[in-house]
């Protein structure tokens, strides 16, 4: 039997103005280190040196591709790489599930815009609803003619005819650029299986289940969590439920819970919230003493991260910038709601699609202008409370 993990437990700030300094292309590793906590290793000189050695050691193992094409924000002037970034930073993070997709039919079920203001002391996580109805532009690499669809399908359309994951990411980025005007400094494709391995390398995370929900992806076979397709081959297994309460979760459990949307009161919006909570939980775990003082565990985390992500760094050496955002901690990760956290129907009777509200489009305008701080001060209800 192929099981993804061990047996499950029993149920149970002031506004800031946009910097006038020139911007550089920003490496996506800055985002990864926020997510897995590597930047937080800069709490002491010894950890800083050790972290730089590890980053330089694993840089060659990280897959790097052009994920943005015409949606990349170009630097305002040529500059030599340095150790500090200027201006706000905006990243596109795409989550895909290769195992849960049929070959050639992969979609981006998780779309997150991570925005860091020019002060580099906070990070905003903004989910784009997967069912957002959009105009997808024509895309020559995959022979896509263009047309309207859900944004989750843009990845599939861009990846066809040999364009692959990079083509899928490029078309999502181009679609978002047309929808919001945002150009991106970097991007990452996150494989859900690899993300699970990062969590396991951390030693698990603390998560609080706030709504009882049954897994749509897994079943229990002889007490072991098993992928649904495999469980059916073994006779079906038993339902796997995520029960209300706080607990320490292994990678398979935390990831499975954060991916559920059916059976939850707010559907995909509850899933978006849980995924942002998972990222925050990972940062909290990575900044714990048990991780910061364990170089062997740091080694495992960075190795797992290198296998979990495909990156677009804009050609800038990763090690030169890896410590720029070391001031961002788990408490500085701010979760922002799109559409007020509620489904906004597009008005089609044939498909469950939605549109971004005028307020959400205004919020994305603020991301593009580097004034999201000011927008959220004026619209505090857009901030998701923990």
Q: Which pLDDT tens digit goes with each residue over 36-56?
A: 433 333 333 344 445 555 556
Query: How is 178-192 classified by DSSP, letter by letter?
Result: HHH---BSEEEEEEH
pLDDT digits (tens, 9 = 90+) for 177-223: 999 999 998 888 888 777 888 899 889 999 999 999 999 999 999 99
pLDDT of residue 297: 81
pLDDT of residue 153: 93
Tell me how far apart the alpha carbons of residues 140 and 142 are, in angstroms, rounded to a whole number.
5
For residue 337, pLDDT beyond 70 = yes
Cβ(40)–Cβ(329) below 8 Å: yes
The CATH number that applies at residue 52 is: 3.30.420.590
Q: How many domains does the chain have?
A: 1
Find the radius of gyration of the CA atoms of the chain: 20
Q: Which residues pair with 312 in a beta bridge?
A: 187
**Could you tell me if residue 225 is inside a domain?**
no
- For residue 170, give Cα distances in angstroms to 187, 216, 369: 9, 29, 22
Q: Mean pLDDT for the chain?
A: 78
Tell me how far apart the alpha carbons of residues 170 and 147 are, in angstroms, rounded to a whole number.
16
pLDDT digits (tens, 9 = 90+) for 238-294: 999 999 999 999 999 999 999 898 899 888 888 888 888 888 888 788 777 677 677
**Could you tell me if residue 253 is inside a domain?**
no
| Boundaries of domain holding 192 | 29-202+296-382
**Could you tell me if residue 233 is inside a domain?**
no
**Could you tell me if residue 368 is inside a domain?**
yes
**Could you tell me if residue 23 is inside a domain?**
no
**Could you tell me if residue 97 is inside a domain?**
yes
**Could you tell me if residue 251 is inside a domain?**
no
**Could you tell me if residue 234 is inside a domain?**
no
């Amino acid at each position: 039997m192929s099981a993804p993990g061990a047996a499950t437990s029993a149920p149970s700030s002031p506004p800031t103005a946009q910097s006038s300094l020139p911007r550089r292309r920003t490496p996506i590793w800055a985002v990864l280190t926020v997510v897995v906590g590597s930047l937080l290793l800069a709490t002491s000189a010894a950890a800083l040196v050790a972290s730089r050695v590890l980053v330089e050691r694993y840089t060659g193992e990280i897959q790097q591709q052009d994920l943005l094409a015409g949606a990349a924000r170009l630097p305002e002037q040529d500059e030599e790489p340095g150790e500090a970034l200027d201006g706000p930073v905006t990243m596109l993070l795409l989550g895909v599930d290769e195992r849960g997709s049929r070959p050639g039919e992969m979609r981006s079920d998780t779309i997150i815009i991570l925005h860091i203001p020019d002060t580099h002391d906070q990070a905003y996580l903004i989910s784009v609803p997967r069912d957002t109805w959009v105009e997808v532009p024509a895309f020559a690499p995959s022979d896509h003619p263009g047309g309207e669809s859900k944004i989750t399908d843009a990845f599939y359309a861009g990846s066809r005819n040999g364009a692959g994951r990079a083509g899928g990411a490029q078309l999502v980025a181009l679609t978002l650029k047309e929808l919001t005007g945002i150009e991106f400094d970097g991007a990452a494709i996150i494989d859900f299986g690899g993300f699970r391995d990062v969590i396991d390398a951390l030693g698990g995370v603390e998560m609080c289940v706030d709504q009882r929900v049954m897994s749509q992806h897994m079943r229990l076979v002889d007490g072991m969590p098993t992928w649904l397709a495999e469980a059916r081959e073994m006779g079906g297994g038993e339902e796997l439920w995520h029960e209300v309460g706080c607990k320490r979760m292994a990678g398979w459990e935390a990831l499975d819970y954060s991916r559920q949307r059916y059976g939850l009161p707010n559907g995909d919006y509850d899933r978006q919230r849980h995924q942002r909570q998972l990222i925050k939980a990972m940062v909290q775990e990575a900044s714990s003493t048990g991780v910061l003082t364990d170089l062997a565990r740091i080694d495992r985390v960075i190795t797992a991260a290198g296998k979990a992500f495909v990156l677009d760094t804009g050609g800038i050496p990763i090690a030169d910038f890896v410590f720029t955002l070391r001031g961002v901690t788990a408490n500085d990760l701010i979760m922002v709601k799109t559409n007020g956290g509620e489904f906004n129907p597009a008005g089609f009777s044939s498909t469950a699609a939605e549109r971004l509200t005028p307020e959400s489009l205004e919020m994305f305008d603020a991301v593009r202008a580097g004034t999201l701080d000011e927008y959220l001060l004026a619209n505090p209800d857009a901030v998701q409370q923990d």
